[in-house]
Structures are given as C-alpha cells and as structure tokens.
Structure 1
Amino acid sequence: MSPRLGDLGRGALTLAVVGALGLGGLLALRALTAERIAEQQRAATLRALAVLLPADFDNDPQADRIEVVAPAWLGGEDALTVRRARRDGVIEALLLEAVAPDGYNGDIRLLVGVDARGRVIGVRVVEHRETPGLGDPIEIERGPWITGFDGRSLSDPAADAWRVRRDGGAFDQLAGATITPRAVVGAVRRALQFVETHGEALAETPSGATLAFRDAPPLEDSRR
C-alpha cells in the first residue's frame, strides 16, 4: 500500500471514530433529556394529585389504579392511568389522565378529578408545548383560567355551552389564544362523559388491570 493510500485509510478511520463518538453522545443526550422530561411530568402529576384528591379518603390512590386505553374519550392512543380515591371501599373520586390532542402545538396532557356525583374536583395541566405568553396560561402557575372547571358537570353548563365564549359557550378563552382553551374544554368534557358512560367499570375493575374502550362519544359531542 502506498503512503498516500495509508494516510487516506487512517483519515477515513478517524472520521468514522469521530462520527461514532458524536452519534453516541447525541443519543446519550437525547436519552438524558427524555428522562428529565419524564421526571418533570411525574413531578407535575404528583403535585396535581395532591391538589385534586378529595378531602375524605382512606385508601392509597397511587396503588388503587388501573390503565385505560380509550382514545376517543381520553385522547391518547396509549394507556392512560385512572386512580381511584375511596372511603370505606366506596369511590369518592376518579382521577383520570387525559390528553387534548388538538392543542395549538400538539398534545396537552391533563389530570382531571371527578367526584362521585360527576362533578369536576379540578383540572391541572401536567405537560404541554403551547406558545409561551399565549397558550401557557392554562398552567395554574400562570393564571386562574384552569380553575374555571371546578365544580362543573355535564349539566353545568348545559351541553351546548361546553365551549369557549367565542364559540357561544360558557368558558373564557385566553387573550390572543382560542385553540388552546378550546382543546382543553373539549378534553375535560369528554373525560366527564367517559366517567358517566363507563364509571362502573372504572370503579369495579381490580387494581393493576388494563381496560380498553373502542366506543366513542356521540359524533355531535366530539365536535364541540
């Protein structure tokens, strides 16, 4: 082999090694970032749970939980968690993970607390990518908008008022942003409908089980 060919071979090998190291570093950074995001989401969920749990329960909702695949109701294709708060074995509240898939910048992940009478205990956003300064006031840390669901039910407001005001509904939109609150209102309403339709199964299924629901809200409701 000529010296020139030998130099070319060593140069190619060096480039390959550098490229492999760079790719490995990139993959490691991506894994670390994904882990951090997941940890932040877990922390946000725990904070939300502390707020949304009913005042009177005697079980461990973190252990008394099931996984639910219900894309048309809860918005996510993957399994989402439903936690149960009980007193003396009786359901006091369901705490549902839900996804608003039609946010301005993608999925908005929520935790929705629903009491035994079908009323919203509260709603909290645990993850989103909405535009800072426009869509992010859905976070409780940035404003009180999300508390507008507290105490609401499928009959309060009436069915045709489960919309933002711009669409003729009862819920405020955000200044300069309508898509984001519209998506959250729809997701909360579908979660309430899900509890009304399938609440018995959600309450009685043994902890640790996974349920799948392939039905959907009525078509006219899914467009609200």
Structure 2
Amino acid sequence: MGNLKPRDILLATALLAGFAAAGAGIVALVQDSTEARIAENRMAVNRNRIAELTGELDYRNDPVHDTIDLDHDLLGGAHLPAWFARDADDEVVGIVFSAVAPDGYSGNIHLLIGIDRDGELQGVRVSAHRETPGLGDTIEAERSDWIRSFDGRSLGDPPAEGWHVRKDGGVFDQFTGATITPRAVVRAVYRTLEYFAQHRDELLATRPDATGSVVEPLPHNEANGDNEANR
C-alpha cells in the first residue's frame, strides 16, 4: 500500500467510479424495462376486464385510455379510476367504475363495476381481495357464478330492501359459513349504483379529454363502516 503512487490511486478511483456508473446504468435500464413490462401487462389486464364489463354495448373508443379519477364516499375511497365506453359520436354508453367494499371479512375488497348509461349493471368483477380461501374467495368469477348474479340488475331491480343477502332479507345468496364477504360486495355494488344515479348527468357529460375528478372529493370516514358479525 505504501508504494502506491498518486497516479495509481487516481486510476483505481476512476475505474471504481466507472464500474459504479455502469452498474447504476444497468440497474436503471432493467428497472425501466421492468416497469414498462408491468405497465403493459396491467393495461392488457384492464382491457380484458373492461371488455367483460361493457357487455354487449356498442362502443367505438378504447376505454383503457378514456379514464378519470373519482373521489366519493359511495365508491369507498379516493383516486378511483373509472373508464368510459363511447359510441361513434363520443357519447357515453357505459362506465366501468372502481369501487371498494371496506367491510370485507379480511379488509378491503376491490371491485370493477360496469354500468350502462341507463343504470343497468353490465357486470361486476373482483380485482383484489384477501378473503378466506375456500370461503370468501367464492366472490371471484373464476371460483363460482355468484358474482354474475348482478348482471342486468339496477337500482330498482330488486327494490332497495332486496339489496341484501338472503340472511338479511334480500335476494342475493350468501356462502355457507361466510356471510360478511358477499354482504360487503352487495353493499358496494348498491352504493355504486346510487353514486351513478346521483351523478349521472355529470358523468354522461364528460368528454374524451376529461381529466381529474368530475365531482368534488367528499369525506371518507363513512366509507369505513364497522364490520358486522359474520359466520
């Protein structure tokens, strides 16, 4: 070490700096590539789900790129994306809402809910949850047909008193050994229909270049309702 010359030290330092810079560059390239791939995969998944939830609607745009964020208690949170399906005249024929059921058995249940311009449900799908495997996960379309029981429903079909699981006097089935999970989903779907009914004119008036929230953010403390006794 004592025989090292200043030039040798400078050379070693330069080499180390070069290796560090090269390593950082490689990491950045890999990260950019990974993030781009994740974004592409997410867009492909969203496109497939939106296609499912726009049913037989006659739309001409790509809803994945026609989106705004919504903030409202009835939807269960803030910064929730909604995607718009439009006809050839850019009129809204349907919307796929993101909604959160905050009162699932194991926490939030994230939903995608398709509604046409007349307020009829085109479909409901679960996008994320932590419900009990073998019990609560029956809300997944891949696990059972239960989630398809919302197809064609609307705010008045069934009447308000029917928007509950059968255990609570409603028309929707609960699961054997699990009531909280379907109860939470039914409530979230009904609240989303309420939201659409209350803001229908604003929503249908949005244009393809709309950005941000179409309604003012509201307090969200009510969205965190108390869990009820379940099973």
Q: With structure 1 as the length reference, what TM-score do the two structures score?
A: 0.74
1:119 is displaced (CA, Å) by 0.6
- Flag the 1:165–1:43 CA change in 2: closer, same or farther, 3 A: farther
User: Is the 8 Å Cα contact of residues 45 and 126 (structure 1) preserved in structure 2?
Assistant: no
**Letter aligned with residue 148 of structure 1:** S
CA RMSD in angstroms comes to 2.6
Q: How does 1:42-191 map to 2 (within 5 A)?
A: 44-55=45-56, 56-70=58-72, 72-76=73-77, 78-87=78-87, 88-191=89-192
- Flag the 1:57–1:199 CA change in 2: closer, same or farther, 3 A: same
1:201 is displaced (CA, Å) by 1.6
Cα separation, 2, equivalents of 1:41 and 1:129? 20
Cα separation, 2, equivalents of 1:215 and 1:142? 35
Cα separation, 2, equivalents of 1:164 and 1:150? 16
Cα separation, 2, equivalents of 1:47 and 1:186? 25
Cα separation, 2, equivalents of 1:154 and 1:52? 17
- Bigger shift: 86-95 or 184-193? 86-95
Cα separation, 1, equivalents of 2:164 and 2:69? 28
SS of 2:130 mapped into structure 1: coil
- Flag the 1:38–1:180 CA change in 2: closer, same or farther, 3 A: farther
1:117 is displaced (CA, Å) by 1.2
Structure 2 residue runs of 5 or longer lacking an equivalent are 1-34, 227-231
Identity %: 49
- Flag the 1:144–1:182 CA change in 2: closer, same or farther, 3 A: same
**Letter aligned with residue 66 of structure 2:** D
Cα separation, 2, equivalents of 1:40 and 1:202? 28
1:44 is displaced (CA, Å) by 4.8
1:215 is displaced (CA, Å) by 5.2
User: Is the 8 Å Cα contact of residues 69 and 210 (structure 1) preserved in structure 2?
Assistant: no
Cα separation, 1, equivalents of 2:127 and 2:44? 9
User: Is the 8 Å Cα contact of residues 117 and 204 (structure 2) preserved in structure 1?
Assistant: no
Other-structure match for 2:11: none
Cα separation, 1, equivalents of 2:134 and 2:183? 17
Cα separation, 2, equivalents of 1:118 and 1:204? 15
**Letter aligned with residue 80 of structure 1:** L
Q: Which has the larger radius of gyration?
A: 2
1:92 is displaced (CA, Å) by 1.0
User: Is the 8 Å Cα contact of residues 44 and 126 (structure 1) preserved in structure 2?
Assistant: no
**Letter aligned with residue 79 of structure 1:** H
Q: With structure 2 as the length reference, what TM-score do the two structures score?
A: 0.72
SS of 2:48 mapped into structure 1: helix
